[in-house]
Structure 1
Amino acid sequence: MADSSEELRLATLAEMIAEHAAKRPTTSAVICAGRSLDYRSLHQLSTCIAQALLGDGLVPGDRVAYLGVESVEYYATLVACAKAGLVLVPVNFRLTAPEVEHIVRDSGSALLLVDPGLEPVVEGLIPSGRGPRVRPTSPAAIDAWLAAPGRAGEPIASAPGDPVVQLYTSGTTGLPKGVVLTQCSLFTVRGLLADASLDWIDVRAGDVSLIGIPGTHVGGVWWSAQGFAAGATNVAMPRFDAGQAVELIDELGITTACVVPAMLRLLLDHPRATPVAFASLRKVVYGGSPIAASVLERAIPVLDCDFAQIYGLTETGNTAICLPPADHYPGSPRLRAAGRPYPGIDCAITDEDGTPLPTGRIGEVSLRTPARMLEYWRMPEATADTVRDGWVRTGDAGYLDEDGYLYIHDRIKDMILVGGENVYPTEIENVLASHSQVADVAVFGVPDDSFGERVHAVVVPRPGSGLRQRDLFTFCQERLAGFKVPARFELASDVPRNPSGKILRRELRQAHWRDRDRNVN
């Protein structure tokens, strides 16, 4: 890899930012929405925020929730939490008030930072007495907070094994679980690749790196950490916009980017998507959902750069499997593979009893990685069910070929991937079941050429209710984030279930997937 061994030895965000503030103080560390922080300014601001957090009475290990879009303040707060030994809990701004409340309450956050315009989402948390203290994140509010007397707590440098972020991912119970990740979770793969002299993922000091995936997702946090580790310039957008992304790539000379396949397709569909606009790109990393071969075949000549696919979970600290650039070329037999494990990471395919299966046999994918989560926050039983003897059970079904490449065939769990967003049927079913005119409901994913999958709901109305599809749509819009709202409501007379009452989702999905050669899109 191109990075120096000295930089690679730096193991925490605090060490990295301090080092780059000394070595390259005027290099932009974060650019977002026309604002920029160089490494010296990021170091200073994050130290001030860390002091203010501790001065507010927070102690190491406390949770700090952040509800907002991408901004320079968000990344400064991430670094500040690392400096103060606190744990950042990013909250997706697209969630509804009840969804935000669950995350804030479950995490036990002592402080909630809220972007301007999102205050109404949290208003109900405060009068009820169930919420934490709230602080706005506008630049003026941050300045006033930092200038207030008595805010000078001393930062406490955290260690590589200390938790730094808690990311919420939905589960089959329908309620999101807090995945606790350490600082070394963010930097382990970087070190493994350096030790093996591989450049699969190789953010460099001179790179200008586009963060396509929001910081509320493990991919966004992880990718920004790669940029900070290298001393590169991270470029973020408050919300992903294909036109703005093309402009940023062209005008700022973006050299590397991390996106989900749906974003890559939107980039290619934009009128300005030409080889000239993408001339500065040297590598695009993509993941979060399977990619359509047609999208990749379009991208290779237009973007004219290296590609690397990553596969993993929030629970594995993001990526554990990579399809390297060498396997990306028109007609490559590997393009349907997720990739192969990084050096030092293991992948196994097992049957229902946990017995390893031979090459070519489909079973559950399990990953053993030093970057895996510490735990599901305050959920020891769920943690023990997912992590067994150091192996993370992914819930995905796949197989390994004779060269150790992993191919994803289906999902053992019922998760739906909508443009890189994880959607779980049970959560949506619980919302629809609360409708007074719904007798039964089943939710599952169906193919969608734009976003990989879309949410489909089969609803059984109560007799004589007169229930209409638009009534259900409005009902869900008020209770669920937009990406979770079903794209279609199918009114039916019943929902197929097995003798124990479990919904036969595979049977429901079959009609929508029968023309596909695999059950992911």
Structure 2
Amino acid sequence: MSSAGAETIGLWNIAGESPERVAVVTPDGTEVSYGGLAAKANAYARGLRALGLEAGDSIVVLQPNGDELLAAYFAAIQSGLYVVVVNWHLVGPEVAYILSDSGAKAFLAHERFAGVAVAAAEEAGLPASARFAVGRVEGFRRIEELGAGEGDGRPAERTAGSPMLYTSGTTGRPKGVRRPLTGADPDEVPAASTWFFGIFGLAPGDDHVHLCGSPLYHTAVLNFVAISIQLGHPAVLMDRWDAEEMLRLIQRYRVTHSHMVPTQFRRLLALPPEVRDAYDVSSLRSMIHGAAPCPLEVKRRMLDWWGPVVTEYYAATEGGGTTITGAEWLRKPGSVGRPWPGSTVKVLDDEGAEAPAGQIGTVYLKMGGSTFEYHKDRAKTEKARVGDLFTLGDVGHLDEDGYLFLHDRKADLIISGGVNIYPAEIEGELVMHPKVADVAVFGVPHDDWGEEIKAVVQPAPDAVAGAELTGELLEYAKGRLAKFKLPKSIDYVDELPRDPNGKLYKRKLRDPYWAGRAAI
């Protein structure tokens, strides 16, 4: 795979100049050219226009990783449409809610999710003429019909669309983040895209290759793949992530960058040394991670293996963030970095005043003049703001050099006997025990202290849940945590409720313990 050259960027520009260049490698190994991807995006765009969709309308996509999903995305991006890529773990009523809430005028699904797609379309009352499917889905038209007979080439009217992202909250209905359309020419790659990749040392050309190992319904995952393609970096897609398969793909395609989560790091490190050593990863230049806290020991071991190419960031769908290189992290272990250019990061106390260096408070962000609103939810938009700053509800502190350190989600804070306890710190220690595959820590009711610390552990495959393992884990924790941070009890489950991107749905674990009582 060779580069497109720094002078040519943008899907349609590259397709016009070098139509045979590889844009996407699908999970089954099929190589899709820039010309092929652009042609499919053009056909879908013409079809959506023929359905009557206009700039500002929305489409919903329920598909696995593949060139079909990306063609639908780029069709919307050149048609002034909002495109909602749906989490395919959702059930029918949840997808129906998104169809209705977003005002979707078309629904592009995949036969893998046929049951959910049919149930959602029916509940949302979506007309049959607006339903399309890759493969066969009852009541849906074949995706090949979208744009068929509408001529060739690009749609007559082209203007930049936008992803409409639904935040994956653990309580209540998810809320769509809808940004104003820019009216820009879709052939012009937004300056923000090249700027964002520049934060990680990624520029057009230079033989870059992106590897996507997570579902494209995640905000960051979709951004990284779309921008990679726009900048001439072929995107290698995985369907379901596997540690050794990732190493094989890195070696096969000389991958330079990827977007990862700490859970994937841990599974890579769990491979036998002889398996890890069997693959050439020397092509790696920027392996970027975020989305979930990374235990310090995991990060150190990845840096030892891959070198200083492991870069971390902290950011939000709503805008703004920080970044830290591997070399910086070794000087500031545990930090998620300093604000990236144009971003503001502040830590505010409970009164809304700026906290001094070292003092823990709520983390607030701002990105230049960027604006957003939660779709149909002004109250939530305002609740997340202080002036022009907004928060994700994370707790942390800034050090004297302006580096941000996160402690936990404010909602996950345990208050026991009046003392603030941060579960992420406890989880970061327990997860390093060889008999722990995964762990969640949270507060449960206690009549005297208000809350006490509960750990829920997913044992490693060779470990046996029970009193003996509990004793071993608590003894292990005693050497690493202050007494007041030690779990009072440990329960066991076969698997923690995480999505493929590593996000833990802690409320699903915590709620049964609080049934009938109000959580503090």
Q: Give the unaligned 5+ runs of structure 1.
A: 11-15, 417-443, 460-472, 505-521
Change (3 A) 1:93 1:376: same
Distance across 1 between alignment mates of 2:349 and 2:4: 41
Match of 1:99 among 94, 111, 116: 94
Match of 1:27 among 21, 25, 32: 21
Over the residues paired in the alignment, what is the CA RMSD in angstroms? 3.8
Identity %: 27
Equivalent in the alignment of 1:156 = 157
Question: Shift of residue 407 of structure 1?
Answer: 0.5
Distance across 1 between alignment mates of 2:337 and 2:88: 32
**1:249/1:278 contact within 8 Å kept:** yes
Q: Alpha-carbon deviations, 1:105-134, whole Å to 9, x = none?
A: 211211111111211112223444623532
Query: Which deviates more from structure 2 when the two are superposed, residues 301-310 or residues 253-262?
Result: 301-310
Distance across 2 between alignment mates of 1:174 and 1:149: 42
Distance across 2 between alignment mates of 1:100 and 1:156: 30
Match of 1:38 among 14, 30, 33: 33
* Amino acid corresponding to residue 168 of structure 2 in structure 1: S
Q: Alpha-carbon deviations, 1:195-242, whole Å to 9, x = none?
A: xxx653415422110123321111112211331232110111122222
1:280 aligns with 2:283: yes
1:111 aligns with 2:117: no
Equivalent in the alignment of 2:488 = none
> How do 1:283-322 residues align onto structure 2 when only pairs under 5 Å count?
283-304=286-307, 306-316=309-319, 320-322=321-323
Equivalent in the alignment of 2:168 = 170
* Amino acid corresponding to residue 346 of structure 2 in structure 1: A
> How do 1:148-227 residues align onto structure 2 when only pairs under 5 Å count?
148=149, 154-159=155-160, 164-171=162-169, 173-181=171-179, 190-192=193-195, 200-205=200-205, 206-227=207-228
Equivalent in the alignment of 2:353 = 355
Distance across 2 between alignment mates of 1:208 and 1:415: 40
Change (3 A) 1:173 1:269: closer
Q: Alpha-carbon deviations, 1:437-463, whole Å to 9, x = none?
A: xxxxxxx9983727875487979xxxx
* Amino acid corresponding to residue 178 of structure 2 in structure 1: V
Match of 1:67 among 62, 67, 70: 62
Change (3 A) 1:457 1:402: closer
Question: Shift of residue 485 of structure 1?
Answer: 8.6
Equivalent in the alignment of 2:245 = 244
Distance across 2 between alignment mates of 1:213 and 1:257: 10
* Amino acid corresponding to residue 218 of structure 2 in structure 1: H
Point out which structure has higher relative CO (alpha carbons under 8 A, 6+ apart): 1
Question: Shift of residue 153 of structure 1?
Answer: 8.8
* Amino acid corresponding to residue 357 of structure 2 in structure 1: T
**1:457/1:490 contact within 8 Å kept:** no
**1:21/1:40 contact within 8 Å kept:** yes
Match of 1:137 among 130, 134, 138: 134
Structure 2 length normalisation: TM-score? 0.74
Distance across 1 between alignment mates of 2:515 and 2:97: 29
Equivalent in the alignment of 1:79 = 74
Distance across 2 between alignment mates of 1:151 and 1:455: 56
Change (3 A) 1:375 1:46: same
Change (3 A) 1:138 1:334: farther
Equivalent in the alignment of 1:265 = 266
* Amino acid corresponding to residue 34 of structure 2 in structure 1: Y
Distance across 2 between alignment mates of 1:103 and 1:406: 34
3-state SS, counterpart of residue 365 of structure 1: strand
**2:243/2:264 contact within 8 Å kept:** yes
Structure 1 length normalisation: TM-score? 0.74
> How do 1:468-487 residues align onto structure 2 when only pairs under 5 Å count?
484=505
Equivalent in the alignment of 2:391 = 393
Change (3 A) 1:411 1:451: farther
Total equivalences in the alignment: 437
Equivalent in the alignment of 1:516 = none
**1:47/1:80 contact within 8 Å kept:** yes
Question: Shift of residue 142 of structure 1?
Answer: 2.8
**1:289/1:452 contact within 8 Å kept:** no
Change (3 A) 1:124 1:229: closer
Q: Alpha-carbon deviations, 1:246-266, whole Å to 9, x = none?
A: 221121111111111111222
Q: Give the unaligned 5+ runs of structure 2.
A: 415-422, 446-492
Match of 1:364 among 362, 365, 370: 362
Distance across 1 between alignment mates of 2:170 and 2:369: 23
3-state SS, counterpart of residue 117 of structure 1: helix
